[in-house]
Each structure stands twice: as structure tokens, then as C-alpha cells.
Structure 1
Amino acid sequence: MDKFYNRQAELNALQAVSSNLTETKGQLSVMVGRRRVGKTRLLNEAFQRGKTPFLYLFISRKSEASLVAEFAEIIKSELGAKFFQPQSLRDIIDYLLDYTKSAPLTVVIDEFQDIELVNASLFSDIQNLWDSNKRSAMIHLVCCGSLYSMMTKIFKGKDEPLFNRDDRFFKIQPLQPSYLAEVMQDHQQFSAENMLRWWCLSGGIPKYLEWLTRFSAQSEDLFEAVISEFSPLIKEGTHRLVEDFGSEHRVYFDILGAISKGHTSRAKIENFLNMSVGVHLEKLDDVFDVITKKRPISSKENSRDIRYAISDPFLNFWFRFIHANKSAVEMENYDYIRRYISRDFDVYSGLELENLFTAILVESKQFGKIGGFWDAKGHNEIDIVAVNDLDKKVLIAEVKRQQKRYSEAKLIEKAHQLLQKMNLRGYQIEYRGFSLDNLVAVMEEYRTPAK
């Protein structure tokens, strides 16, 4: 998947900053996005071929002395600083700010939030150096990180040294459904059934799409290639999360495993695991950005009627089918896991189909609010409610794998309580059945944002 999809607005903004440093002087951009979402690729695309030189520094979790030695070598090699002998990361930042007083430079510091683990006082050092030098240094400093809450706290927390020092803040999201479809069309893989499979296995994350394009070229049966000893997806959940979760990773994995199996309320998770999980759920949501809270669309922000969902479709799949069978993974019994998927995937992907249709509606930019509905007893569930208050329109949709299983009469009956709660008098209400049978048509219908 060498073609670069989407990201044009971010690309243009980043390139514009770096090409104008002689005029603007010091500029600080912050970029956040979950691991594998394509931040490094975007930065390479933006800066590799530009006129302004580009330096990439990665904060790996090792000692400060090791990082200083590594960065000094990069600086000597890239900037020709033969006699540069830094003693600390502060010296590295100081040198780069001084260097850029005579030559423009783009500097990317990746996994910036991990400075906290290497030397937390460096944030104050960077603030002092930045405030003293940014008006004379021709530097575009890009601080990039994968933990959204930590990066937000570093730059938006009132008591933090770097509070409001950023000039722009990019949140890089997975590719939306139309770009996922474009990737699939470019590789002759597009169909409604395949679209759902690729959504479940990638959630629009570019790295996973890259793997899927490779797998689909190797084998007609996608799961034959995905679930095998040579597949990077088998260990991917562990690689992505263990480092962030640290010593408590087993508890977090158990909670995510429970959610992936359909235990979506706190009470059900605690009952399933026989332990208290309140603090861990808050951290999974606020700190790690791995789960989202869902409330009925009619409820208030402080409502306690909460269901939890794993934000990333790939991680949801990984916990449901791979982590749940870790004994089979240990024994390399991949045939067993494929049979397990074959048995349960239709039911599982039917639930994920709701998320795919929701993502299609979000991408259309036609609605101000999108969610689901269920009553106080958890009954009268409605899959998708999308509200456009400007044009006074509401879309109420039921999602099924097959269109023949949709009943408009039943949906209207279920929606009665919702309409009472939401006070939608005067709104035009549209009832729809979404399914694999009309997925392609619905994508086409919502492709062009309403004017």
C-alpha cells in the first residue's frame, strides 16, 4: 500500500509551516494519534521532500544517557556537527535552537509524552529554552505522541510548563470508510462483505490496511492468512498495549476481553471478572483512549446509564478471537482459531456493522449528533439515531446483516419512547433499514456532504 491516502489538509498545513520559517521563526506543532494510525508516514510525506531539512528523534524508553548518545550521532551525521558533545537532552534542544538561528530546520520528537519516563524535568527545560529562543530560531518543532490524554495534559494542562506553547494541534484519526473503500478498490478487493471484514480487521488504521492488502494478494481466504504463524496481527494487541499499560496490563487485558465478549456495563464486567474495575475503566477511557463510553442519545452527559465499547475495531476483533484463544496461540493451533472465527464471525460482525454505518454517517458531516438508544431497562434498543438540528431532520436506523430481517413497523414501535424523550416535534423523521445488502448504496448516498 505505497499510495498515500487522505491526510491532505494536515499535509498542507505542516508543509506550509516548515516552508515559511524564515518569516515566522519558531513554530510548535503537536500531533497525536493512536499507534499505527500513520503519524510517522504523514510526517515523512510532509517533510522528506521539502526544501527545509528534517530531523527525526524518537524517545524510546531507555536511559537519558543512551538517548543523548543516539541523538548526538544523528545530529553529527545530518547537520555536520562534528565536535558536538552533549551531556543531556537539554543540551540537544539548546543546540538545535541555536543552530536554527542561522538555518531553518524541522525537528520531529516522536513519542514525546515518554520524556516523562526518561527525565520529567526536561519539560520545564524545553519551556525555558523555547520561550527564550523561539523569536530568533527558524525551527518547526513537531511534538508527536500516541497517548492522547498525556499529550493533551502536557500542552493544555494549566499547571504544566508547556501549557499553550503549541501553535497548532493535530489529532490524526483512522481513515474514514470512503478511504478504506478506495484502498480496497485499488487492490480489486471491494465488495460489501469484504468491506465489513476489512473494517473489523483494520478499523481504517493504515498499517493494518497495508497488512490486509498483502494478505489478500497471498490467499483467497483472508482468515487463512490473518490467522497464521507468519501473521503480525497475532501479537499486535500485545505489542500495542503492554508497554502503555505497564505492570497492570493483565487486568486491563481481562477487562478488554470481557467488553469484546459483550459485557459492556460496569456491573456486567465486574460480575464476569469477579472484581472491581471502576478505576481501570476510567483509565482505559481517559488515559489510554482505548475504550469509549456510550449513553442513550436522549440522556444527559452525567447519566450513569453507560455502556463501554473498545474504540478500535481491530482491537475489539483481537480481544474477541485471538486473546480469547491465547492457549491455542501458544500451541500454534491456528486451525482451531480459524474454526472459532468461522463459527462466531457472522454474529460478531453484525454488531460491528453498526459501527461501520455510524462511521459512514459521521463522515458525511450531515448530522450534529449520532448515537444509539435503549430504555432504562436496556430494552427498546435502536442501533442508530442521527440528528440534524439545523434542518430539523432525524434518521432512525436499524442495522441487520440481511435486509429481509428489517421491519419498519417494529422500528417505528420501538422509537415511540425515544421520540417522547427527545422532544422532536416538528422534525422530519426518516426510518431506515441498513444492511450488507445496501451498504454500497448507503455509502454512495452519504458520500457527498450536504450543502
Structure 2
Amino acid sequence: MKFYNREEELQILNVLNKQAEKSGRMTVITGRRRVGKTLLARQHARDKKHLYFFISKKSEKQLCDEFLSTVKQHFSIPVIGEIASFKDIFLLILNIARHEKIVLIIDEFQEFYHINPSVYSDIQNLWDQHKEDIQMHLLFIGSVYSLMVKLFESRKEPLFGRADRKMYIKPFSPRIIKEILCDHGAYTPYNLFFLYIITGGIPRYLEILADNNTFDRNSILNFVLCKDSPFLFEGKHLLIEELGKEYGTYFSILELISSSKTSRSEIESIIGKNVGGHLNMMEDNYDIIQKIKPVNAKKNSRIQKYLIKDNFLNFWFRFIQKNRSAVETENFTYIKKIVERDFNSFAGYYLEKLFQEILIATGQYNKIGNYWEKGNLNEIDIVAVNDFDKEVLIAEVKLNPDKISLNKLKHKAEKLIGSYKHYNLSFEGFALDDIDKLI
């Protein structure tokens, strides 16, 4: 699949690279696995003198042997003495950067935490000593969110405050998913919607499906839910390193959230223990879930829900992990029947989320969310607010446009309207075919 999007990110990296002609620049690139961090860095460096180091689970000495070999392939330099530590390698490259411009990419940077944490202090010390005298753009890439935040945002860590730019790479927008489908001659609003549900715009997932010419609902389900599918254990591969030994409890919570048990009280009544700490960790440290409130709620409001942020993970916990026994016995027909049975109720939230993302991309609103009242009464799919122009869009979203009723929507919004007395209100109904009007 060709390289899509990321124009804004590449522009930022190019500006930093230009600045690196005068003194060193450090950029941190984070984001969930498969989102395209490495591809972005390589795209940036492809026409520049660069080195790429991948921090795999090996000893420091083994890594240094690999890195030294890479350096020798690109630069004709004398190496005096033994290179046995990353400190030695880094100093060697800093000395090269005194005389010529270089981009250094260090991928899975958080792995040094398990190999030799003192590397971070060594890098900080050497960077502080040499930054002003080198022409280097140093890129650190990391996939374990909690560790990367700790390394660069905790005041106790040596690299705190050293990064010139921290970039969080997001999945592709609905507009880019549409572009990919159009390039493959497979665009329909429904195909876009189903790809959005399954992939959430994650580039690697889109690439896998595109390489297999898999774009419609049936072919996607047949590919995702089959023996040896790369998606069957993907959720486990993504999260176990992040969540650690207690992943079993976290998985139980996530499975419940994916099945619409979205309040803390519901989760605790089923699990049978306090999960407040686990919810806080997944929201604040691991960036897996988010807590949402009605769009007009006050900060101290207790009306709230927990949702899984990642579309694929939500699908994986709802249909794959929840039916792990069927996966183990390779009864994928059974799982597909479950998907077909539950699809409409499951997909409703993602249709709301899809249109919310599309509206966010218009730049017309400063606040977009949902609305509901205590007991999940008077639920409204989309409330989009422009506080500057004093405008509010209140919208209902349905798979079937015949089920949209603006009169019912206005009735449900009676209490909500009280929060926006001096705003211009508009009421809309959105269905799948409206995607083409907006993107």
C-alpha cells in the first residue's frame, strides 16, 4: 500500500530537521502499535543521511555490535577500542554529527528500560554536552505509552524537558480511509463504515486488508475470523506488555466495557471487587479507555460512561476475546453468527463516533459529544457546539434513514436546550449516505 497522509507530521519533522543544521534537535514519536510511527520516520529520513536502530530484546552488547555494523556501513570512520555500551555508540555518532548532518532514528526506545535503564542518563548527559555543536535530528520512537510518558514527562527522569517536539501519531481519519477505498475501486459508504469499525483507521490493518483485496463486510469478517488470522491474538499482543501481570483483570474489565457495561457500578457488580484503580490506570497511564460525560455536564457530574478508545480493541474484546473458546476450537462460524446477531446494536455507537470525527475535521466546532440524562434517558447521538458563533448542532444518527425523527429528537433535547438559551440551534439527521456530503 502506498504512503498515505501524514503531510502535517512530515512538515513538522522537516522544520525540525532544518533547525538541526544549527544545533541538535530531539523529537519523540509515540502512538499505539501499527499506527505507522516507524514508516513516518523512515519517510522523513528517506532522502537524508540517516541511521536506524531498532531496540530488540537482546543484551546491550549484542545491540551495540549490530549498531556498530550499521554505522560502519554508512560512514568511513576509525573505531578505536571496544564498543560495548550504547553510551559508546551514541558518543561515536555525536562525533560524526559534528562534521556532517545526520538523522538518527531509535525505534522501540522504551526497551532500554528493561535492558539497561542507565542508558537514559547517558543519553541525557551526552546530549547536554554536545547538542549545541552537532547537526543531528534525533528521533525516539516508542509504542508502550505508559513508559514513553514516564521517560519524557516525569520530572524525575533524566530526559524530562529534553525533547524539542513530542508527536502522538493518530490513526487515519475517515477521509483517508475513503481515499484508500477509492484508490482500490472499492468505495461505498458502507465499506468505509465497516472498515472504520474493524480497523479504526490503523494503517497496518488497512494495509493487510488492502493487500488481500478485502473491503466489504463479508470478506472482512471471513478474513478476520478464520484460522491463522493475524487479528485473532492481536489484542493480547498489543496490551500484555503494557498491562503486565494483572492483565487478566484488565481484560475482564475491557470485555465488559465492550459489551456495553460502561459504568463502574455495573463492572464492579459483575467482577465482584473494586476496580477504580484499574479504570484510572487504563485511562490515565495506559490511554486505553476514556471517561465521557454529557456534552453540557459540569466537571463534578457523576453521570459518566467508560469507553474503549480504540475501535479494533473494542471489536476484539466484544467478539474475539469474549468467544475465546470458539477461537480455540476454530468454530469461526459460531463467532460470525454472534457478530451478525449483535451487529446493529454494536454498530450504532460507531456510526455516532464516525460522524463525530467527520464533524471535528470540519473545524466548525470547539466541542462535540453525546448527551444523555440520568438513567440513560433522552440519549442524543451528537451535540456539536460552536461557542464563538453561538451555534449548536443537535443530530440523530441512524443506519436506516427512515428511522430518523426530528420531532422525537427535539423532544429529547428539551432539557439540553436550556444550557444553550442564546445559541442558534439546528437539528439534523444523518445516515450513511450523508458521508459523501461531508467528506
- In structure 2, do the counterparts of structure 1 residues 218 and 385 end up closer, same or farther at CA, with 3 Å as the change threshold? closer
Paired with 2:391 and 2:229, the residues of 1 have a C-alpha distance of 46
Match of 2:252 in 1: 254
Superposition pairs of residues 104-183 of structure 1, within 5 angstroms: 104-183=101-180
Match of 2:409 in 1: 411
Contact 2:254 2:317 in 1 (8 A): yes
Superposition pairs of residues 5-16 of structure 1, within 5 angstroms: 5-16=4-15
- Pick which of 215-224 and 234-243 moved more: 215-224
Once the two structures are TM-superposed, the CA of residue 332 in structure 1 deviates from its matched residue by 1.6
Once the two structures are TM-superposed, the CA of residue 249 in structure 1 deviates from its matched residue by 1.6
Paired with 1:159 and 1:239, the residues of 2 have a C-alpha distance of 30
SS at match of 1:90: helix
Paired with 1:96 and 1:406, the residues of 2 have a C-alpha distance of 62
Q: 2:74 aligns with which of 55, 71, 78?
A: 78
Paired with 2:141 and 2:211, the residues of 1 have a C-alpha distance of 28
- Output the amino acid matched with 1:8: E
Contact 1:147 1:289 in 2 (8 A): no
Q: 1:237 aligns with which of 222, 235, 244?
A: 235
Paired with 1:331 and 1:340, the residues of 2 have a C-alpha distance of 16
Paired with 2:93 and 2:359, the residues of 1 have a C-alpha distance of 45
Contact 1:145 1:151 in 2 (8 A): yes
SS at match of 2:286: coil
SS at match of 1:281: helix
Contact 1:215 1:222 in 2 (8 A): no
SS at match of 2:396: strand
- Output the amino acid matched with 1:191: T
Paired with 1:150 and 1:385, the residues of 2 have a C-alpha distance of 35
Contact 2:106 2:140 in 1 (8 A): yes
Match of 1:204 in 2: 201
Paired with 1:295 and 1:329, the residues of 2 have a C-alpha distance of 35
- Output the amino acid matched with 1:11: L
Deviations 1:8-27 (A, max 9, x none): 121122234335533x2211
Contact 1:33 1:146 in 2 (8 A): yes
Name stretches of at least 5 consecutive residues in structure 1 with no aligned partner.
445-451
Once the two structures are TM-superposed, the CA of residue 191 in structure 1 deviates from its matched residue by 1.1
Paired with 2:350 and 2:37, the residues of 1 have a C-alpha distance of 25
Paired with 1:399 and 1:245, the residues of 2 have a C-alpha distance of 35
- Pick which of 242-251 and 382-391 moved more: 242-251
Runs of 4+ in 1 over 4 A off after TM superposition: 217-220
Deviations 1:38-60 (A, max 9, x none): 1111111111123xx11111223
Paired with 1:200 and 1:98, the residues of 2 have a C-alpha distance of 49
Paired with 2:409 and 2:106, the residues of 1 have a C-alpha distance of 51
- Output the amino acid matched with 2:55: I
- In structure 2, do the counterparts of structure 1 residues 248 and 286 end up closer, same or farther at CA, with 3 Å as the change threshold? same
TM-score, length of structure 1 as denominator length: 0.92
- In structure 2, do the counterparts of structure 1 residues 414 and 49 end up closer, same or farther at CA, with 3 Å as the change threshold? same
TM-score, length of structure 2 as denominator length: 0.94
SS at match of 1:328: helix
Paired with 2:423 and 2:146, the residues of 1 have a C-alpha distance of 37
- In structure 2, do the counterparts of structure 1 residues 63 and 300 end up closer, same or farther at CA, with 3 Å as the change threshold? farther
Superposition pairs of residues 12-411 of structure 1, within 5 angstroms: 12-19=11-18, 21-22=20-21, 24-50=22-48, 53-81=49-77, 83=79, 85-217=82-214, 221-411=219-409
Paired with 1:300 and 1:66, the residues of 2 have a C-alpha distance of 55
SS at match of 2:355: helix
Paired with 2:90 and 2:10, the residues of 1 have a C-alpha distance of 25
- Output the amino acid matched with 1:49: D
Paired with 2:60 and 2:248, the residues of 1 have a C-alpha distance of 29
Once the two structures are TM-superposed, the CA of residue 217 in structure 1 deviates from its matched residue by 4.8
Give the RMSD, CA atoms, in angstroms: 1.9
Paired with 1:157 and 1:29, the residues of 2 have a C-alpha distance of 16
Name stretches of at least 5 consecutive residues in structure 2 with no aligned partner.
none
- Output the amino acid matched with 1:17: L
